[in-house]
Amino acid sequence: MPATHPLTAPRPLGQRLADFFGLCKPRVNSLIVFTAMIGMILASPDLPSPGLFLAASLGIALVAGAAAAINCLVERTVDALMARTRSRPTAQGSVSPGETLALALLVGGGGLWLLYAQVNALTMWLTLATFLGYAVVYTLLLKPATPMNIVIGGASGAMPPLLGWTAMTGEVGAPALALFLIIYIWTPPHFWALACYRRDDYAKAGLPMLPVTHGVELTCLHSLLYVIMLSGASALPYTLGMSGSGYLAAALALDAVFLARSVALWRHYSDALARRTFRWSIVYLTLLFAALLADHFI
């Protein structure tokens, strides 16, 4: 008599909703939306229109969530091999590929419609380009193909403050490009710190991350060089007249800490230090943009 298998009990509605929400990577996207909001505020001489601010923030958040869901869909097999990502619903199979695609289309389409109808066409098109850059160019093409994936693909992650700026002004200006450049240069040392202490996971998954293909020492040296460049880029808001001396002082202090940690990581590498450097990089960017915000109102 053939063996029979008990039917899998359906997951409770609350857990299903939590799975769908998790596919949108809310912790990662909270920083995306935060930097977009800073771009909106900096682009406004006074406080931005509440309705426009809310519509732009929600639209960008929805499209970012859709991009994250597509990333989870495409990388579900790879995610199942890695300790950091094996708990994702797509990796565990608790959300099907069809459901994930439907979620991305619904959420992303809703976000793009909101941006077009309530914000402006330029922001909608730039947000769509950001979505395609992350979900297609980075996830599908670059990440499995080259150790420079995060350097090239980081452009998508650097777009949010520029999107916030265009949402308020309808155009791309030098200040928006300066904010873009800061995050673009910040992204490699941020991500490489993670890749260093997760290098065994990436090797198992067959992804050619820089620590896997060229070693930890070279990766840490590259990270240090990027942090040096970041120290210059972080002064751009001051040199462009976007901020005052208060922001500049905060930026110099944050840069000094990031530089010290990057030098230590290069000279005395350990996984524990790489983990602390990764966490510090998130704190760095949050505090840097918070300093821009505070300086704007002082």
Neighbours of 296 (CB within 10 A): 17
Q: Which residues of 9-32 are buried (b: 16+ CB within 10 A; e: fewer)?
A: eeeeeeeeeebbebbbbeeebebb
Q: What is the CATH number of domain 14-172?
A: 1.10.357.140
Q: What is the pLDDT of residues 163-197, one digit of tens each?
A: 999 999 999 989 999 999 999 999 999 999 999 99
Q: What is the pLDDT of residues 277-295, one digit of tens each?
A: 999 999 999 999 999 999 9
pLDDT at 126 over 60: yes
**Please, how many CA atoms are within 13 Å of residue 185, restricted to the half-sphere of its CB?**
20
Question: Any idea where the domains of the chain sit in the sequence?
Answer: 14-172, 173-298
Asked if residues 69 and 100 have their Cβ atoms less than 8 Å apart, the reply is: yes
Question: Cα(149)–Cα(146) distance, rounded to whole angstroms?
Answer: 5
- For helices 216-233 and 245-267, the axis angle rounded to 10 degrees is 170
Q: What is the pLDDT of residues 218-241, one digit of tens each?
A: 999 999 999 999 999 999 999 999
pTM summary value: 0.88
pLDDT at 26 over 80: yes
Query: If you average pLDDT over residues 71-82, what whole number do you get?
Result: 83
Question: Cα(116)–Cα(122) distance, rounded to whole angstroms?
Answer: 8
Determine phi and psi for 52, rounding to 5 degrees. -65, -40
For the record, the structure tokens of 2 come out as 């053939």
For 85, the 3-state DSSP assignment is coil
